[in-house]
Amino acid sequence: MEIAHSAVHDETRQHATDDALAALVEQHASTLYRVAFSVLRNGADAEDAVQETFLRVLRHRGTLGEVRDHRVWLIRIVWNIVLDRKRRAKTRPETEDVSDLARVLPATGLSAEERAAAAQHHARMLLLVDSLPAKEREVLVLSAFEELSSVEIAGILGVTESSVRSRLFRARNLMAGLLERPRSLR
Amino acid sequence: MIPREENENRVPASEAEKTLRLVAGLPAPEGLSDRVQEGLRKAPRGRLLEWPMALMPGSWIQSPAFRGAAAAAIVCVVAGGGWRIYSHVQTPAAPTANVITMPARVGGASGFSSANAIRTPDTLAGPVLTRATTPDKAKKPAKRMKRHRAHPAAVAPQPIQPR
């Protein structure tokens, strides 16, 4: 009798967890994909990262109830996954990045030439971002997501909010220097 | 909601930030959620090991009587082990006298009997005389004569004088 009650309880609990997980996928998959794409810059890799994120959540579904902010928690998981993948992956050739960007960036009202030039420009900017030190680059990339506050960015990176602000300040200064240099060379 | 001051700080300061915002704002592909859900459904779900019923809260194993008995058993095991070690480690008292212990008897009532056989130990062969000794010489030992020689006056036979 007690065992039967326990089995029913287990089944109910599993259904509840599955429902919660499904709701998390519906709610946050898109954000996670965008975060993954901003680091990996490849659609298939970003989707794989999202899938891996939710598989990890499934493995630790017992702790779902203890998480305060699911969004920050999920972004933190996907962030660690994509950084790990980026570290392991070989450096992709610049031409591949440019062609990918030309395909995915919005190009309404642009001619083919203008679209190619815009893709070239964005690829060069991303290359400059990649040349920043890791700490500053990470803050700069995450700050591009308007829905993330500096407190949330601090939560994702595991640092204080003041660290986020100072890193962002340094990143902007470094970027300004990097952008000025090619102009002065011209 | 991002504070106003922070929002002002986050105005794209460079072309690079504009690009980053553009990339960050790209929409997710169609059907992403469905594919993820499908992947989760296919994922192997390892069933978690659960505690046996006896370990559940409120079971008999958590009753005060059982706990007391378990504590007593632990104390007995620890005390017994300690006593066993103590008894092995004790040094024996110094012997007061030389005590020779007899070897244990082999056999005995329960073993084979000796059938009243007496064991005669082997002895060494005695000395064998090659020449027979004369009875006179045997009466006068050389050593005795030598002793008397030390006092010739006393030992020498006195002449019998006629009365």
Kindly report, residue by residue over A82-123, the tens digit of the pLDDT.
Answer: 999 988 876 565 555 556 666 677 666 677 788 788 888 888
Residue that has been written with the tokens 């994909």 in this structure: A33
Residue that has been written with the tokens 């499908």 in this structure: B38
Which of B21, B33, B48 is the mutation pick for testing A, counting most A CBs within 10 A? B33
> Which chain B residue's Cα is nearest to A173?
B13
Q: What is the DSSP letter of A146?
A: T
pLDDT of residue A139: 93
Inspect the interface and report whether the beta carbons of A143 and B16 lie closer than 8 Å: no
Kindly report, residue by residue over A120-153, the tens digit of the pLDDT.
Answer: 888 888 888 888 999 999 999 999 998 899 999 9
Nearest-neighbour CA in chain A from B24: distance (Å) = 6
Q: Chain A partners of B25 at a C-beta cutoff of 8 Å?
A: 34
3-state class (DSSP) for residue B146: helix
CA neighbor of A34 nearest in space, from A49, A18, A15, A16: A49
Q: Residue type for A84, please?
A: D
Domains and their CATH numbers in chain A:
1-89 (1.10.1740)
Distances (CA, A) of A76 to A72, A83, A148, B43: 6, 11, 12, 22
3-state class (DSSP) for residue B109: coil
Distance CA B43, CA B28 (A): 23
Q: Chain A partners of B24 at a C-beta cutoff of 8 Å?
A: 34-35, 38, 141, 144-146
pLDDT of residue B6: 47
Q: Is this complex scored with an ipTM above 0.85?
A: no
Distances (CA, A) of B11 to A113, A117, A145: 29, 24, 12
3-state class (DSSP) for residue B161: coil
Nearest-neighbour CA in chain A from B61: distance (Å) = 16
Of A29, A101, A140, the CB nearest to B33: A29
* CB-based contact A88:A45 (threshold 8 Å): no
Burial of A83 (0-12, 13-18, 19+ CB in 10 A): middle
pTM recorded for the entire structure:
0.58
Which of A3, A149, A153, A162 is the mutation pick for testing B, counting most B CBs within 10 A? A149
Kindly report, residue by residue over A4-23, the tens digit of the pLDDT.
Answer: 555 566 667 667 777 888 88
Show pLDDT as tens, one digit a residue, over chain B (163 residues): 444 444 444 445 578 888 898 888 888 888 898 998 888 888 776 555 555 666 666 677 778 889 999 999 999 999 999 999 888 887 666 656 666 666 666 555 566 777 778 777 777 777 777 776 666 555 555 555 555 555 555 555 566 666 5
Of B9, B17, B37, the CB nearest to A144: B17
Inspect the interface and report whether the beta carbons of B40 and A54 lie closer than 8 Å: yes
* CB-based contact A144:B21 (threshold 8 Å): yes
Give me the total of CB pairs closer than 8 Å, taking one residue from chain A and one from chain B. 112
CA neighbor of A127 nearest in space, from B19, B27, B22, B28: B19
Of residues A87 and A77, which shows the higher confidence score? A77
